[in-house]
Amino acid sequence: MSGADARTTTRAAEPDPLETAAAHASAGRLLVAAGRALVAAGLSPGSSGNVSVRDGDRLLMTGTGTQLGDLAPDDLSVLDLAGAHLGGPAPSKEVALHLAMYAKDPAHTAVVHVHSPSAVALSCLEPWSAHSAVPPLTPYALMRVGQVPLLPFVAPGDPAMGALVGDSPLPFRAALLSNHGAVVSGEDLDRAVQSTIELEEACRIALLTQGAARRLIAPDQVRAITAAWGMPWTGPADEGGASSAAVSPASSASVPPAAGEGRDN
């Protein structure tokens, strides 16, 4: 290969700076839209909550003290994949939590952390079971989230929060943080946001039925739904709910909706 050919090959392998900048700008717009969607859903009061998205070899993350409903591209912090600050405002103090969620499932490219009312309230109660704080009351939470373990309390911003995620032997895409809120990851920002909304609804329903004679979804149906939708569920479906009568649908062999479908309304 001639020197000219080698230089041409090298240049072709390098990313185009304009294309890279455009990609980062697009990711930033999606993150801004995600923040506004979370506020519109009532999940991020005041300046609470933070969102990040992995964009190639960088993370875009909401800056410290920002309000998710009033985000602008200039409010986003740029980090490398190890969490080093590369540009923009100082990132949220929950960097370690976000990095741990990305490490837990490398296929996921977005993380949402909110202090939504129902998730916070449920995180202040004893969990339904060892593997999920949220009981299997509706199929929608099973389809969008799966099991939701309750992680022990550490102060907000403490790097130990990331260690709690990484050290947990349970697979999960969402967890409740004791006396704090929820963290959710997803394949992209839209799925992370939708899963966060579904988790808040599941927590609300769990609170509304707290202390009542609940009718749980039958264990075989829990396993069938989570398996069909690729959601984690590792414990017995009726663990922690032995006093509740499980609803047993007519058949556990029904065909699940097409991927991407959610609630039937």
Closest CA to 149 of 164, 121, 170: 170
Active-site residue flag, 94:
yes
Active-site residue flag, 140:
yes
Active-site residue identified among 94, 198, 200, 201: 94
Contact 57, 27 (CB under 8 A): no
Q: What share of the chain is helix, strand, coil (3-state, %, to 5)?
A: 40, 15, 45
Who's near 214: CB < 8 A, 6+ residues apart? 135, 137, 241, 244, 245
Closest CA to 200 of 219, 222, 181, 223: 181
For 239, left (φ over 0), alpha (ψ -120 to 50), or beta?
beta
DSSP H helical ranges for the chain: 3-13, 17-40, 95-104, 117-123, 139-144, 160-167, 189-208, 219-229
Closest CA to 135 of 209, 220, 227: 209
Mutual angle of helices 17-40 and 189-208, in 10-degree steps: 20
Active-site residue identified among 102, 126, 140, 261: 140
What residues are annotated to the active site?
Answer: 94, 140
